[in-house]
Amino acid sequence: MHRYKHCILFLFLGLLQLNAFAQAQKLRVEPAFWWAGMKDPSLQLMLHGANISALTPVIKHEGVILKDVVKVKSPNYLFLTLDMSKAKPGKFALQLKQGNKTVHRYTYEVKQREPNSANRQGFNTSDVIYLITPDRFANGDTKNDNVKGMTEQINRYDKSGRHGGDIAGIIQHLDYIKDMGFTALWINPLLENNQTKTSYHGYSTTDYYQVDPRFGSNEQYVELSKLAKQQGIKLVMDMILNHIGSEHWWMKDLPTDDWLNYQHTYKETNHRREAIQDPYAAAYDRDLFNDGWFVPSMPDLNQRNGLLATYLIQNTLWWIEYADLGGIRMDTYSYPDPAFMSEWTRRVMEEYPNFNVVGEEWSLNPAIVAYWQRGKQNPNGYTSYLPSLMDFPIQAALTTALRDDESGWDTGWLHLYNVLATDFLYADPQNLVVFPDNHDMDRIYTQLNQDAALTKLALAYILTTRGIPQIYYGTEILMHNDQPGDHGIIRTDFQGGWPGDKVNAFTGQGLTKEQLDMQQFTKRLLNWRKTSGAVHQGKLTHYAPYKGVYVYFREQGDEKVMVILNKNEKPYELELAKFAPQLKSIKQGTDVLTGQTYNLGQPKVSLPPKAPLILELK
């Protein structure tokens, strides 16, 4: 019996030692792999493991040279800089040694890039982007609703909780997205967001290299990209470089004392974005805007830290290459360090010259938005490389124009006309992303007081004006939010995306007559837009609105489109004489929405009440 106890004790101690050894061998390496032939030959690896700063890294692989090793305050990090200019595809051992003893061994892979990867085409004016909040679109795999290790569990009855939508649900409905006529897909953040509450929205990243397992896996995200591409749909990734989630793994072991802004004392941003361009702004206000936190659960990253800056840039390039992305939407673009954002976009566009990145700068002032676009000559000398921005000024002007009456000389459509007239401020207004609404604001149908006719006018404008249109999921079926400003309701579940839903928007089952009509209207307009080079790239000429009617033309070569937006409650007789420079000898136009032909050889044309006409001119 005594001997038996000794054996048990010996076995127990042995297991403890094995477990301790296994724990000691844990090594995180980011990025986990890389590619040969990237334009920038330098690669920084972040290594994290217990007390690894005391170890010596050893790398032996053809064409890979270890140029620099950086130790930081935390003993659990090493930052390696590799010269990859002559690297050959293949695997090699990354070793961390203590003398002659190998403490850690990691198999690193240098992959071969896909053919023509550097010349990938980003989203452009020929595209229409469909915006999806993944937790609320479709639950394609109920097995990942709750995942061990993820703190927040599914609760579909909680408007701010997780509802179970996932990547599988999007994959299962790619046919619907394609048939509707969308050609690009912007999905709200899919990366791990292991926060204790309201984690569904994805904007509090806790791991930059892992898809949240409640959405799926990295491999499933790549599969989505591949299948979408086969359907002619580009994948746009939603990224956040300004802040992380308070449960990010860094927060348990920050590498340096300056990894975060206000790392030791919480300070909230003032949201005064104007301070960046304001020639009279106090430095205090500029610094607080960039360095302050959104909320205590979103630590603000200090991109002036060179190691962190390189980490974030490489993470972006990794996702573009790994997931074959067709674009990026960058959250809160103006909030991070401006010099870093300039370098970030420069590096991305240098690596992928035909790519596209759209930044979020939520200002209604076109001058503030224009400041950030590539090619803009700014008085303070700031140089940006950002190709595109979200056109918040047009969105606000559109909804104001549609809600306002036409009784005054500067009311109604004039709000929209006047904002579009400021396009001279932009270096490239054609590359702005225009939209009726998004995930952070009331649904367009709600903004327009649940008026379906006005909603059609809004969509007709967004899909025919200059720029790249973006439509939020559910707009096509008149989704609305009865409680204005409530994000949990704005991002409500898409009907038919969950087993047992009585209404199925994917098939049309159970939709109201008005919803079906809007869905068909959107589908016709989107699929026609695919064929119209004039709308994609044509010159835009608009006429000052008059008596509730706004008219503009899109022209490219012999192709001409005349858009007439009539807000009047009754039919309106539109005099055609002033449009002679565009109409010339054209005698008729066919409405792309109804197929009806209109005689343009007469002095007037009768407009249907409160409706758009989109005429192909012949």
Q: Which residues are catalytic?
A: 331, 360
* 3-class DSSP assignment, residue 194: coil
* Residue position matching structure tokens 């599914």: 154
Name the nearest CA neighbour of 125 among 183, 207, 57, 193. 183
SS3 content of the chain, % helix, strand, coil (to 5): 30, 25, 45
Beta pairing, strands 184-187 & 129-132 = parallel
The CA R_g of the chain, rounded to the nearest whole Å, is 27
Q: Is the dihedral of CA 449, 454, 460, 465 positive or negative?
A: negative
Whether 549 contacts 579, CB under 8 Å: no
Give the separation between CA 490 and CA 599, rounded to whole angstroms: 43
What is the C-alpha to C-alpha distance for residues 474 and 270, in angstroms, rounded to an integer? 33
Helices (H) and strands (E) in the chain, counts: 16, 26
**By the 8 A CB rule, do 567 and 548 touch?**
yes
Other C-beta atoms closer than 10 Å to the C-beta of 77 total 22
Tokens for 352? 């992928």
Q: Where are the beta strands (DSSP E) in 176-306?
A: 184-187, 191-192, 207-211, 234-239
Spatial distance between the Cα atoms of 223 and 211, rounded to a whole number of angstroms:
13
Residues 6+ apart with CB under 8 A from 133: 165, 188, 200, 201, 439, 473, 491
Classify residue 184 as exposed, middle or buried by CB count within 10 Å of its CB (0-12, 13-18, 19+).
buried
Secondary structure, 3-state, 359-375: ECCCCCCHHHHHCCECC
Q: How far apart are CA 418 and CA 398, in angstroms?
A: 11
- Cα separation, 396 vs 398, in Å, equals 5
| Full DSSP string of 52-76 | GGGSEEEE-BTTBEEEEEE--SSTT
Instruction: Record the tokens describing residue 116, joined without a space.
Output: 């023509």
Distance CA 514, CA 517 (A): 5
Amino acid at 480: H
